[in-house]
Amino acid sequence: MLGDKDTGLQKILKDKGITTLVPVGTTPHNGVLFTSVLAALRGFNVVVPVDGMAGNNAYEDQIAAYTLANSIVYKVTLTSIDMVKFQ
């Protein structure tokens, strides 16, 4: 799900009935942030556990969380890993 490039991932997820994504990982100011925003803009529900992001420093984690929480263009839910339940 990179920008305008069609990787086929969106179709695979939609075909499998996946409606919610839970992005986690390193480089939250890039990977988690951009994956979350693009997924939300493409109609997915996005839930980001803030303790599932691991940047090089606390600022990277904080700016990603702040950016995700304060948009008027897309909706992303911030939570913690222990609140995420898979069915």
78 within 8 A of 46, measured Cβ to Cβ: no
Which of the four pLDDT bands, split at 50, 70 and 90, describes residue 6? Answer: confident
pTM for the complete prediction? 0.87
Q: Is the pLDDT of residue 49 over 70?
A: yes
The beta-strand segments (E) located in 1-87 are 20-21, 25-26, 45-49, 53-54, 77-79
Classify residue 11: in a domain, yes or no: no
Classify residue 49: in a domain, yes or no: yes
Q: Whole domain around residue 53: which residue ranges?
A: 30-87
Classify residue 12: in a domain, yes or no: no
SS3 at position 83: helix
Classify residue 17: in a domain, yes or no: no
* pLDDT tens digit sequence for 52-61: 999 999 899 9
* pLDDT tens digit sequence for 22-48: 999 998 889 999 999 999 999 999 999
